[in-house]
Structure 1
Amino acid sequence: MKKTLLIAGLSLAISTAASATNPDVNDWDAVIEQAQNQTVYFHAWGGSQEINNYLKWADQQLQSQYNVTLKHVKVADIAETGAKLLAEKAANNHSGGSVDMVWINGENFKSMKNNQLLFGPFAPSLPNWQHVNLDLPVDSDFSEPTLGLEAPWGVGQLVFIHDQQTLNNPPQTYTELLSYAKAFPGKISYPKPPEFHGSSFLKAVLIELTNNDPQLQQPVDEQTFDAFTAPLWSYLDELHPNSWRAGKQFPSGTAQTLQLLDDGELDLAISFNPNAVFSAQENGTLAESTASYAMQSGALSNIHFMAIPWNAQSKAGALVAINFLLSPEAQSRKGDLSIWGDPSVLKQSVLTGSAAKTKLHKSVPEPHPSWQTALEQAWLKRYNQ
């Protein structure tokens, strides 16, 4: 009898653990109940004080509204988190993982998806999905179908920032940018790949130099890669000697380009947020005379997403956190030009304040995610010092 009870109890415990590990997103009341007292470890880029402050606010709201704690684990490159998850899978750690949420897109999403490292599908079942602007490409990530494995968080566009008092007519194409660098040596640079903004710069230049060849929407063909990308390397071979510090050194990221612009060392800073200039002006990082713009052909654009690892310890808490971050309240604050200014993925009709007034640039789609890795590796082979 005791043995029967023990087996029954063990079966119930296993069933309860499985239920706790994999909440039913279609039963939202149960998700909220399971999320009580959970701590969600959110692996996200930590290179922006505005974003860090926003996530502190989100944590305060989640604690007060849902009794869920959001811990921002600051990472320089989310690929590090992908490697951590792969190691956990190799060690058969299929529950109680160290990562509960990730901020991803592009190659990192494709890698996690292909290696079955993600929980879901869940995104279309979230209560706040009803507010998402489905005119945006929220079901595709760098041409890779999301299949509900990640929820959209914001819109990114590659833009350049300049001081109108020192540069009133900035370059409108990457070809003009090269000419400008030659005319004013030392005043142009870009972050060192594989830093995200630096890699984005490489892709944007290649898109222009190849007239956005349809081949860019397909996986990289290793047989033709060198010939296809030859114009990019020729371009960079001319640009680097005329760049900041003669191309012997590169900024570490967008924050440093903003600082170098403010210090007068660079004439252009780079960002993947079309509203970044307003936030920088608000916090005193940049002068009021600065402005942002996109190249004449448009801005390299993508959606950035949030996902949950397959072995997350606090899946219910992560679902509650993601749903909150998709709420009109959270998206309006995120889009506030004085707070973060990240363009929203929601319908404008549900947004308030300056978030509802954001204007996006003409969009240039991202290449297939395999191009990012291939370009980064080729760049490092040629220029890493």
Structure 2
Amino acid sequence: MKKSFIAASIAAALALSSQAVLASQTQNSVSQDTWKNTLLEAKGQTVYFNAWGGADNINDYIQWAADRIKDEYDVTLKQVKLTDTSDAVNRVLAEKAAGKDSNGSIDLIWLNGENFRAMKDNHLLFGPFSQALPSYTQYVDENARQSLTQDFGTPVDGMESPWGMAQVIFMHDTATLSNPPKSIPELLTYAKAHPGRITYPEPPQFLGSTFLKQALYELSPHRKALSQAVNTVDFDKITAPLWTYLDQLHPVAWRSGQSFPSSSEEMMRLLDDQEIDVALSFDISAASVQIDKGNLPDTVRSYVFSGGTIGNTHFLAIPYNSGVKAGAQVVANFLLSPEAQIKKQTPTVWGDLSVLSYAKLSKDLQAKFDALPRGIATLNIEELGKTLPEPHASWVGALETEWRKRYAQ
């Protein structure tokens, strides 16, 4: 009787296992068929990709991708260059208010943080779609990094596809500054000793806003509160050390804090002209790219603060009213492919960190990533040190509003 029970149990287990395998095979078959249909539907479509256009090397990379996508999939990709991603978000919101629920003017947006939260909260997104992309299911490990599934504290829920990872880095010219300041307090000490040599981009430019968050992380004793929605905490109490700090920094900053650079690119020009001593970027290869282009001396090097710097994942999203959702998915899938991610991580192309899981790559693909040149001023993963998480998305608008109230000219 006992042997019969064991035999029956084994038979039942084998049956369940066979059913699971069959279900998995069926699911894979359905997914493959669905993607084939997506590819067929996408042929001949034109995708209007709204993306920040402030860096020539990034624009060149997008054009390279457009050429490859046209050749491979017969999909035309056209970049609409933005100075502020919120402009695209507001356009989709205006189209929804006007009842334009199909054939919208935007098909794909490069975004993250508060812009993603605004689109998600206002039901402006198509999806979930990211888990349907072959490149995502094959190469992305959602457990590898919290920012793949939490965008500035907002659950991604498959409504955007990861495109790259960034981290704040600082730059200095070793020919004129051998020991740069490596924390927010040290930056102020340096600025007081060298008036006019330190600055940061003007908020709401995203890097300027990030500088505020970096400073707040280092200065506030209430760091845990930054992961909560800003309207649930005592904003004035938590941010008081930040405003005290900036009140001291601005009088000894570049142009006495009466004006600020418009971008990282302007900061690098000022560094090249020896007007300032420290520049910053969200692109870990920015210095290498500009050295390669002849825009910075080859004595410039990148570094990070000792206690870590803010990092995040940036994404691609499809508006709910795009008329070419199939084409947009094809573009997102290609930009997530190993070919496109390897090209993107090349320091003299862009240098943006890949979102692909190294462990999920084949040995050949791992070798291609391993063979990438690092760039003369590009930090490796170990040198980047600790990555600080982005505060909850609601902090961005609150910090920018308060900054402008206090310091905008």
Question: When the two structures are superposed, what TM-score results if normalisation uses the length of structure 1?
Answer: 0.91
Matched, 1:281 2:288: no
SS, match of residue 249 in structure 1: coil
CA–CA distance in 1 between the matches of 2:286 and 2:33?
36
Q: Are the aligned partners of 2:222 and 2:238 in contact in 1 as well (CA < 8 Å)? A: no
- From the CA coordinates, give the structure whose radius of gyration is larger: 2
Q: Are the aligned partners of 2:347 and 2:373 in contact in 1 as well (CA < 8 Å)? A: no
Matched, 1:32 2:68: no
Correspondence for 2:132 among 125, 128, 132 = 125
Q: Are the aligned partners of 1:25 and 1:126 in contact in 2 as well (CA < 8 Å)? A: no
Amino acid in the other structure paired with 2:286: A
**1:295-325, CA deviations, whole angstroms, 9 ceiling, x for partnerless residues?**
1111101000000000011111100000000
Matched, 1:184 2:194: yes
Q: CA deviation at 1:144?
A: 1.0
CA–CA distance in 2 between the matches of 1:327 and 1:248?
45
Correspondence for 2:255 among 228, 235, 245 = 245
- In structure 2, the CA distance between the partners of 1:278 and 1:184, relative to structure 1 (3 Å rule), is same
| Matching residue of 2:26 | none
| Matching residue of 2:397 | 373
Q: CA deviation at 1:355?
A: 4.7
CA–CA distance in 2 between the matches of 1:174 and 1:212?
16
SS, match of residue 105 in structure 2: coil
CA–CA distance in 1 between the matches of 2:323 and 2:87?
19
Q: Are the aligned partners of 1:186 and 1:245 in contact in 2 as well (CA < 8 Å)? A: yes
**1:18-48, CA deviations, whole angstroms, 9 ceiling, x for partnerless residues?**
xxxxxx9970111011111111101110000
Q: CA deviation at 1:223?
A: 6.8
Correspondence for 1:67 among 74, 85, 94 = 74
**1:149-187, CA deviations, whole angstroms, 9 ceiling, x for partnerless residues?**
001111110111111111111111100000000000111
- In structure 2, the CA distance between the partners of 1:150 and 1:234, relative to structure 1 (3 Å rule), is same
Indicate the larger mover: 83-92 or 212-221.
Answer: 212-221
In the alignment, structure 2 segments of 5+ residues that lack a partner are 1-30, 375-379
CA–CA distance in 2 between the matches of 1:361 and 1:103?
26
Q: CA deviation at 1:227?
A: 2.1
Correspondence for 1:258 among 256, 268, 291 = 268
**1:334-372, CA deviations, whole angstroms, 9 ceiling, x for partnerless residues?**
000111111110123435255586524311000000001
Correspondence for 2:91 among 84, 88, 96 = 84
Q: CA deviation at 1:222?
A: 6.9
Q: Are the aligned partners of 2:286 and 2:351 in contact in 1 as well (CA < 8 Å)? A: yes
Q: Are the aligned partners of 1:344 and 1:355 in contact in 2 as well (CA < 8 Å)? A: no
CA–CA distance in 1 between the matches of 2:88 and 2:254?
32
| Matching residue of 1:152 | 162
Alignment map for 1:135-150 (pairs within 5 Å): 135-137=144-146, 138-150=148-160
Amino acid in the other structure paired with 1:67: D
**1:223-272, CA deviations, whole angstroms, 9 ceiling, x for partnerless residues?**
72122211101100100011111111100001000110011001011100
| Matching residue of 1:164 | 174
Amino acid in the other structure paired with 1:61: R
In the alignment, structure 1 segments of 5+ residues that lack a partner are 1-23
Question: When the two structures are superposed, what TM-score results if normalisation uses the length of structure 2?
Answer: 0.86
| Matching residue of 1:50 | 57
Q: CA deviation at 1:284?
A: 1.4
Correspondence for 1:271 among 275, 281, 289 = 281
| Matching residue of 1:205 | 215
- In structure 2, the CA distance between the partners of 1:95 and 1:154, relative to structure 1 (3 Å rule), is same
SS, match of residue 154 in structure 1: strand
CA–CA distance in 1 between the matches of 2:32 and 2:208?
37
Give the number of the structure whose residues are more often helix, by fraction. 2
SS, match of residue 221 in structure 1: helix
- In structure 2, the CA distance between the partners of 1:25 and 1:150, relative to structure 1 (3 Å rule), is farther
Q: CA deviation at 1:124?
A: 1.4
CA–CA distance in 1 between the matches of 2:340 and 2:234?
45
**1:164-221, CA deviations, whole angstroms, 9 ceiling, x for partnerless residues?**
1111111111000000000001110000000000000000000100146211000013
Matched, 1:325 2:332: no
Computed over aligned residues only, the root mean square deviation of the Cα atoms, in angstroms, reads 1.5
Q: Are the aligned partners of 2:50 and 2:109 in contact in 1 as well (CA < 8 Å)? A: yes
Q: Are the aligned partners of 1:124 and 1:148 in contact in 2 as well (CA < 8 Å)? A: yes
SS, match of residue 109 in structure 1: helix
Amino acid in the other structure paired with 1:272: F
CA–CA distance in 2 between the matches of 1:231 and 1:222?
19
- In structure 2, the CA distance between the partners of 1:263 and 1:303, relative to structure 1 (3 Å rule), is same
Q: Are the aligned partners of 1:45 and 1:76 in contact in 2 as well (CA < 8 Å)? A: yes
CA–CA distance in 1 between the matches of 2:373 and 2:32?
29
CA–CA distance in 2 between the matches of 1:284 and 1:26?
49
- In structure 2, the CA distance between the partners of 1:295 and 1:25, relative to structure 1 (3 Å rule), is farther
SS, match of residue 27 in structure 1: helix
Matched, 1:225 2:249: no
CA–CA distance in 1 between the matches of 2:397 and 2:166?
19
CA–CA distance in 2 between the matches of 1:328 and 1:51?
18
CA–CA distance in 1 between the matches of 2:372 and 2:356?
10
Amino acid in the other structure paired with 1:71: K
SS, match of residue 231 in structure 2: coil
